[in-house]
């Protein structure tokens, strides 16, 4: 009887995952309705349903009332991401705001934090926190900052060449295993080795280590942290730092070749989703997405993202699933990275002056017709490079509606955030 029960639930799952299938299972269910030996314990159903993808989890809620209650309790939703932007060159201080592209809501520009100045620059985002670089002169400093709680944690300088380093961190510093990772971009060319620096929460100094296996650190715009490892991609290799074992390995991968694009002219980001590593290439007029095949050591091109979407800015790249409509299977870029390779009606000068969010559909292989607008934060902000933006995960108990919002029409069409 146990085997019969497994067969029944297998048929249920088949129909859930294949909604267009003509396979009929009702006759199997009807004949066993009165057979209590086929009752599956809710704990077993919970384990099975918790392993379904989000879309299949939602479908399974239609099987029966019991399943509907169970799937709602085990459904894990992807985190939300907002774009946080800073405008640092204003006479009255730093302005900031948030943009939720899924809800299509933007906050009005707000006066900045006392903790930030015109010398502040966001260099990394993770787990709702920011890594900020402060460089008023040659004295470069870094600190971790939470824009929602305004908590700040200063990092030691320790004599590091911070001006030539790229940084990332593993998780919020409210967690004991928080680790800040830095790699010196000059160490390869100057010393023929990779110099990596790490800082643990509570430490007063950085730990510096040199590794002989070199890698070009200019391959991607960002460093990716995933499951205890820090990743950096180059043309023919992938650098991996294991934070627990304190090892650095350079893994050979088949290079991605883009017609008409030199290796030194690539524009790329790394991101991950459920343990899979993805690479976004915006080096040509047609942005592309690749997924790392670890067994074959190759980047495999993805034609679609199976309903997921990737959000890219200068300092971050994140991936989310469960999106619908015009936000599904798109690459959402903020601050145009394509070096004017896409055809636009505006002049190149205008594009350089303004932040230019746009969506690229992987379905149609073209720009989405839905206009996102060109934005500047305050009147008169025409200085190129004044804005700094990053994708950030807001706390679960905060809604963008908690802030003062722009009217919906202005949020799409205006060039001003106030």
pLDDT digits (tens, 9 = 90+) for 186-216: 776 667 788 899 999 999 999 999 998 777 7
Secondary structure class of 252 (helix, strand, coil):
strand
Q: What per-residue confidence (pLDDT) applies to 277?
A: 96
Residue that wins the pLDDT comparison between 134 and 230: 230
Number of H helices, E strands in the chain: 8, 26
Per-residue confidence at 415, pLDDT binned at 50, 70, 90?
Answer: very low
Residue that wins the pLDDT comparison between 310 and 353: 310
Map out the domains of the chain with their CATH numbers.
2-74 (no CATH), 82-413 (2.120.10)
**Per-residue model confidence as pLDDT tens digits over 75-108:** 556 678 999 988 766 666 688 889 888 888 888 8
Mean pLDDT, residues 369-395 taken together: 62
- Show Cβ contacts of residue 18 under 8 Å, excluding neighbours closer than 6 positions: none
**Per-residue model confidence as pLDDT tens digits over 99-149:** 888 888 888 888 878 888 888 889 999 999 999 998 876 678 899 999 999
Q: Which of 124-138, 311-325, 375-389 has the lowest mean pLDDT?
A: 375-389
* Burial label, 384 (beta-carbon count in 10 A; 0-12, 13-18, 19+): exposed
* Burial label, 299 (beta-carbon count in 10 A; 0-12, 13-18, 19+): buried
Q: Helices 2-17 and 42-49 sit at what angle, rounded to 10 degrees?
A: 40
Q: What per-residue confidence (pLDDT) applies to 345?
A: 44
* pLDDT tops 90 at residue 72: no
Distance between CA atoms of residues 61 and 19, nearest Å: 13
Per-residue confidence at 225, pLDDT binned at 50, 70, 90?
Answer: very high
């Amino acid at each position: 009887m146990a085997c019969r029960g497994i067969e029944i639930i297998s048929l249920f799952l088949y129909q859930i995952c294949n909604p267009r299938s003509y396979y009929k299972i009702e006759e199997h269910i009807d004949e066993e309705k009165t057979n209590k030996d086929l009752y599956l314990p809710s704990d077993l159903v919970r384990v099975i349903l918790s392993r379904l993808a989000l879309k299949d989890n939602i479908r399974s809620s239609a099987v029966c009332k019991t399943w509907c209650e169970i799937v709602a309790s085990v459904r894990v939703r992807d985190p939300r991401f907002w774009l946080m932007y800073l405008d640092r060159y204003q006479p009255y201080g730093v302005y900031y705001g948030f943009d939720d592209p899924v809800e299509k809501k933007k906050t009005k520009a707000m006066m900045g934090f006392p903790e930030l100045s015109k010398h502040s620059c966001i260099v990394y985002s993770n787990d709702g926190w920011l890594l900020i670089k402060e460089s008023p002169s040659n004295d470069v400093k870094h600190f971790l900052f939470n824009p929602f709680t305004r908590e700040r944690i200063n990092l030691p300088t320790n004599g590091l060449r911070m001006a030539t380093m790229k940084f990332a961190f593993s998780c919020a510093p409210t967690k004991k295993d928080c680790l800040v990772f830095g790699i010196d971009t000059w160490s390869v060319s100057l010393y023929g080795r990779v110099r990596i620096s790490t800082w643990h929460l509570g430490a007063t100094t950085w730990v510096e280590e040199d590794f002989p296996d070199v890698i070009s650190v200019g391959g991607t715009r960002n460093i990716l942290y995933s499951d205890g490892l820090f990743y950096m991609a180059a043309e023919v290799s992938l650098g991996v730092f294991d934070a627990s074992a304190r090892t650095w390995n350079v893994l050979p991968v088949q290079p991605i070749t883009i017609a008409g694009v030199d290796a030194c002219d690539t524009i790329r980001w790394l991101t991950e989703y459920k343990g899979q590593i993805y690479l976004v290439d915006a080096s040509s007029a047609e942005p592309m997405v690749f997924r790392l095949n670890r067994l074959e050591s190759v980047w495999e091109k993805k034609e679609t993202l199976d309903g997921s979407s990737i959000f890219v800015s200068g300092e971050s790249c994140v991936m989310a699933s469960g999106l619908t409509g015009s936000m599904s299977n798109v690459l959402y870029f903020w601050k145009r990275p394509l070096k004017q390779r896409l055809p636009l009606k505006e002049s190149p000068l205008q594009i350089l002056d303004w932040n230019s969010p746009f969506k690229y559909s992987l379905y149609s292989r073209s720009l989405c017709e839905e206009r996102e607008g060109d934005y500047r934060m305050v009147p008169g902000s025409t200085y190129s490079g004044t804005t700094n933006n990053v994708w950030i995960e807001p706390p679960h108990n905060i809604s963008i509606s908690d802030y003062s919002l722009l009217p919906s029409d202005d949020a799409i069409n205006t060039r001003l955030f106030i």
